[in-house]
Structure formats: C-alpha cells, structure tokens
Chains A and B, each alone.
Chain A
C-alpha cells in the first residue's frame, strides 16, 4: 500500500513536468500573438517592443527560456505578471480561488446526493415510471447548455429580475459579506452547475448498479438470506460507487481549474473561471498560462487522491 502511494506520487510529479513542458511549448514557442507586442500596448514603437522583449527574456535562446520558466514555476511558484493588471498571476488566481471553491464544493455535494440517489433508485426500480421519468429528465438536463439554464433560472427566480423573486441573483456573491449570505447567493449557481452533472452521475450510477446487480456475489449475498436493503446497500452500492470515485476526482479537479467558466460568467461570480474568461478576451497570455498550469496541478492532485481512494475502496488494486 505504501509502495503504491509512493509510486502514484512520483507519477503525479512526472505528470506535472510533462504538462508544464507542454504549456511552455504552447505559450512560448507557438503563441497566437507576440507576447511582447501584447505587453507593450497599442501605441508602442519598435524600440519599446524590443525593450519589453528583452525584459521578458523572450530574446534568449529557447532552452534558457525553458529553464528560466521551469525554475520560476517550480522553485518560486511564480507564474509571471498579468499584462492587463500588472500584478503577479499567482496573486490573481489565489484571490479568485475562494469563490470557485465555494461554487465547486456546494455543487459537488448537490450533484452527488441527487445524482447518486436517483441513479440507485432508478436502477433498483428499473423500467418503472420513476426510472423512465428521471432518465428522460436527465437527458434533457445534460443537453441543456449551462449558460441557457443559468439565464433561465435568473429570469425565473432571481430576486431582482425574476418572475418569482426567491433567490439572490447576479453578482450577489461578490456583494455578500458573511458566509450565510454567500451561501444564499450561491443557491442558484450551485443548482445550475450541479444540474447537468447530477444527470450524468445519475446515469453512470444507474448503469454501474445494473452491472453490479448481475454479479455472482450479489446472488451469494441473497443466498445468505440478507435482507434486500442490506444486499443493495452493503453489496451493490459499495461496488457500483467505486468507478464513480474516478469521475468525482476528475470533475472536482477541472472545476477548480476554471471549468465553471460559464456558470461564473452568467452569475458574475469572481472566480477562476471568470478570470480566465476575461484573460482570454484581452489575450492576457500569462494569466491563461497560469490558470492552465494551476488547473493541471489540481487535476494531477485530484487524480492522486482518486488513486489512493481507489486503493482504499478496492483491495485488489493495492496488490497489483
């Protein structure tokens, strides 16, 4: 088990190196625009641009640029300065991270509790009206774009523009001063962000449960004379949920990495996703690059968590 964890951690570190090399390739070797020109602003002359190029180190050989970049990223945790705001990218991201964590954690709790419950119940009551209704509904939710769902929910329920003024609307999170207000402001974003994912999880869980049901060991559990509830809870769900853990890790990782970009934009939540959205709009390359690296870090980290959790959940993994 210890060996396994060490192996996974080493692999995770190797992954980070590979990812950062790819990011370097994209942002330094094949940039979509000349970073020096972007940095210099609109009315800069050639001399000014050349000077900026020099100060950014872009006139150095590629290998030196690479070493420089890797040293900054891994030793100093420095992702450079935003062209737009002229502050460290690290600072920008760390400022925006709390809002994204708020959004992600709440949404994860909702989609897990709703999605898994629906998945389990529909699998057990397969082909019932409940099963058909929830599975059709989930397909609709998966198909509904987040920005559309977000706007519709604001139109219907936001306390400023809504038909029924129930929940705080756009920008409420940024304005909130205490955790209770923040949570209240998050209700609509949570629901919107969790909607499609709940639906996906419900379908995954249902399929996983149905796979598990026909396993021989479920027959054994019944043959033991266990009550059906115990068969479902202790034997079926326990097995069926294990593959879902992989999904959770990946989804949480990508959300923290700015994947909630649409939800954050629609609800005007000052999170990493919105930062990314703005940065793309003004070609703020260092910010985009920083968020990409940050995202890669989260994804590698949560993958590691998933691998360890998996070994805990499935004893067969520990020995392979």
Chain B
C-alpha cells in the first residue's frame, strides 16, 4: 500500500512538471490560446504515462512509442471535434519527452573526443546516448503519424 502511494505521488509530480514544457513550447509555436489547455492535458498524460510504463519495466523506447501513439489518437479525436489540424496539439504535447539530455551527452562526448583524443569509454558514451536519442525521436514521430498511416491512409482528417 505504501509502495502504491509513493508511485501515485511520483506520478502526480511527474504530470505536474510535464504540463509546463508542453504549454511553454506550444506558446513558442503560437498555438491559439484556447487550445493551450489541450496541449497541457496531453503533455501531462504523455510524460507521466511514460514514467508509469518505465516504472513497470518497459524500455524507454517502447514506452515512448506507446504513449506517443495514444497522443496521436487523442489528437485525432480533438482535431475532428474542433476542426483543427492535428500537429497543433500533438507536437507540443510530446516536446517534454524529447531526449534532450541524451543528445546533450552524445554531443559533449563527441567534442571531448575532438579535444582529448579517442578512447573506448568516450566512444561508448557517444554511441549509447546517440542511439538512444535517435530511437526515442523516431518512436515519438512515428507514434504521432500512426493514426493517419493506419486509419486515414491519405484521406484528410479534418
């Protein structure tokens, strides 16, 4: 029971910190003001959902694919309801899951190789972080595109 409460607590904290970047980046993309709330809801859902899946032992790439696919389907529903193109909601809501720290580490590693010379440990850091960045990014955008690939197949959504 205690364990359960801790997880719920962590889950809620995660959701709270995830809606902020979703709305922040939605504002950079100039999403209309009345649509920001949808970005916040989907952003919080996506990041905390991934946290929960990873807590139960799912690898980060598959968890990302799963939640970004569900964001894609939620976006499908909202975009048909409000007659608004899907990327307006979906792209901002997955921004919190962009693998920034992995990309940062891979890049810094490359720079260290340049300045300090090649070593196996550095190369390991670069490869591991770089590959993880690549796969998470692909999972994110592939998941978002799935509804129109699987269901709409060339027909317009709105």
A binds B: no
